């Protein structure tokens, strides 16, 4: 299963967002791998529009397993101020999942 999603990073926080993603915690990377997130990439425009892509066997299950991880809860709490999302929601709860409209094998 290929999954695409979008977020909007606050323009004032783009440099720090980029820096933090150059230094993702090793235990966060391990948790992503263990819960089925494969070939995971993030892409961002200069204005902060963020596009994420991953492959997984079951996205709902992968998200649910990550939601149980303490490291994910810490990461989501630390990342929440970077995004234009509803107050009180974690970024992993606010993902705007996109419909795939084309794929070239």
Q: Which residues are catalytic?
A: 21
Compute the distance between CA of residue 83 and CA of residue 85 in angstroms, rounded to an integer.
Answer: 6
Residue 42 makes CB contacts below 8 A (sequence gap 6+) with: 21, 50, 51, 52, 53
Determine which helix (DSSP H) or strand (DSSP E) holds 6, and give its type and residue range: strand 2-8
Whole-angstrom distance, CA of residue 83 vs CA of residue 105:
33
């Amino acid at each position: 299963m290929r999954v695409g999603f979008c977020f909007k990073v606050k323009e004032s926080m783009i440099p720090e967002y980029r820096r933090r993603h150059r230094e993702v915690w090793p235990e966060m990377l391990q948790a992503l791998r263990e819960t089925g997130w494969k070939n995971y990439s993030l892409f961002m425009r200069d204005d902060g529009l963020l596009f994420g892509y991953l492959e997984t066997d079951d996205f709902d299950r992968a998200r649910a397993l990550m939601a149980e991880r303490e490291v994910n809860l810490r990461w989501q709490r630390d990342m929440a101020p970077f995004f234009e999302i509803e107050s009180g929601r974690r970024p992993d709860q606010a993902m705007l999942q996109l419909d795939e409209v084309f794929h070239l094998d």
